[in-house]
A and B are shown apart, each in its own frame.
Chain A
Amino acid sequence: MYGWEMLSFNIHDGFLEAIVRGNRSGLLTASDYNNLCQCENLDDVKMHLTATEYGPYLQNEPSPLHTTTIVEKCTLKLVDEYKHMLCQATEPLSTFLQYITYGHMIDNVVLIVTGTLHERDVNELLEKCHPLGMFDSIASLAVAQNMRELYRLVLVDTPLAPYFSECITSEDLDDMNIEIMRNTLYKAYLEDFYKFCQKLGGATAEIMCDLLSFEADRRAVNITINSIGTELTRDDRRRLYSNFGLLYPYGHEELAVCEDVDQVRGAMEKYPPYQSIFAKISYGESQMLDKAFYEEEVRRLCLSFEQQFHYAVFFAYIRLREQEIRNLMWISECVAQNQKNRVHDSVVFMF
């Protein structure tokens, strides 16, 4: 019941909520980002990061440093914190924390399948996988030839099994099918997560459903923009949109028939939250749309910390860390390639 969770939340989850809020205070602030943006080379970046909470992870790295090493070590910190929380969590928080990683699992599956299609080595691909989304039999994904085999050999034992019912076909895997498979899986995962959060009820349901609706809508816009000009039919496109969110169902009808970015803008401007996003970018431009969406997402995630006694803080913390790692990757790349004037194109400040 909404409002009464404060009486019983702390019995099982009070300790972990306090831990995740302590971790949140370790996120990099605007002054940290300013220091990082003024670095001359990657060793400077490493020196600044050693002074933050990333210190123990980066201080033993030998120079010369690569951007991939920085990103890998920072991701390792996130994984350590996640595992620390997961091993202390009880139901239903432990299920909730596991749900957060299924998105990465889907990305890893698609990465390995695509890489195998292009004849890459399995071990090389395994190193590129996101550590939060690893599962035991992931290496045997390289053996599968079509989706039915993929499911039967590997995925039936993973938590992703229920999401496959919509996309089992016997067609061979190629680039287009793999993208459709990724989006179908992600759609099923988001809907499942949404139902789970609604079942939890209370403040968790309210905040998580808002965050997930935004995610669903953002994916709908990205699918639309990425499929303009490809051979994806309108019906296929509509099948990839989720069954919840602000845009469901009328916005999806309009998005399904859009043929260019300005039509997408026209469809989205009817919804006040998205109108403010689209107002930030001028006509005909779609590169800044990603950054505008990220900024809105970060704003909503930071707002979820304003309320106590719910699970959305865990989701928000992991997402904010991932955004921070994206920021660090962008800054490191700009510094390494000597293009510091482009740093602010893609860095989203949190606080």
Chain B
Amino acid sequence: MSSDSSWASALVRISPYTFSAIGIAVSIGVSVLGAAWGIFITGSSLIGAAIKAPRITSKNLISVIFCEAVAIYGVIVAIILQTKLESVPSALMYDAESLRAGYAIFASGLIVGFANLACGVCVGIIGSSCALSDAQNSSLFVKILVIEIFGSALGLFGVIVGIIMSAQASWPKA
């Protein structure tokens, strides 16, 4: 550890467990935020449009399911991340290897959380437009569903990269 700048030493003296815990919290917290945001955007339009066109309700629940999937990604990654936490002896706590593991879990959590936030909002807005268009013209539903599928792939990208990041989080052995 260099002592050139006191700020640099402040950062590396933060325990890697702090970073890991924050990463896990962000992973599930922000994913659920994204999913909820998407669901309310879709749900309010769907309910209003279904008054005049009741046939749209069952098909358009797919949009809500895509948003919900985003929250499930967050939960799965949080569970995977917390299994990566291991105890290290206190002598090795601020070792480069421990810091690396801590940062890997943190980054993984951030990646998944914010990718799912964007994905949930995206799918929600498209789902709202899908419900309103389907109510006017039922042939549009399948075409807009394709756009939603592309949108929900964004969350999947986040999960994949997050899992790869966390796979190489190896804490030093005694």
State the A residues within 8 Å of B (CB). Answer: 6-7, 10-11, 14-19, 21-23, 25-26, 308
Contacts and interface: CB of A to CB of B under 8 A. Distances in A.
B112 interface: no
Nearest to B132: A21
Contact of A308 (B48, B132, B135, B136): B132
Contacts of A7: 37, 41, 121, 125
Provide the main secondary structure of the chain A interface.
helix
Provide the main secondary structure of the chain B interface.
helix
Nearest to B52: A22
B57 interface: no
B41 A14 contact: yes
Contacts of B44: 10-11, 14-15, 18
Contacts of A10: 40-41, 44-45, 128
A21 B51 contact: no
A17 B52 contact: no
Closest 8 CB pairs of A and B: A18-B48, A22-B52, A14-B44, A18-B49, A15-B48, A10-B44, A18-B45, A10-B41
Contact of A11 (B40, B46, B51, B132): B40
Interface string B24-54: 0000000000000100110011111101110
Given A15-B44, A21-B49, 18 more contacts: A6-B41, A6-B125, A7-B37, A10-B41, A10-B44, A17-B45, A17-B48, A17-B132, A18-B45, A18-B47, A18-B48, A18-B135, A19-B49, A19-B51, A21-B132, A21-B135, A22-B53, A308-B132
A25 B138 CA distance: 13
A21 B128 contact: no
Interface in B124-146: 125, 128-129, 131-132, 135-136
A7 B53 CA distance: 25
A266 B41 CA distance: 49
A17 B44 CA distance: 9
A22 B49 CA distance: 6
Given A7-B37, A10-B41, A14-B41, A22 B47 contact: no
13 contacts: A6-B125, A7-B121, A10-B45, A14-B128, A18-B132, A18-B135, A19-B52, A21-B48, A21-B135, A22-B51, A25-B53, A25-B136, A26-B52
Contacts of A26: 52
A21 B129 contact: no
A19 B40 CA distance: 16
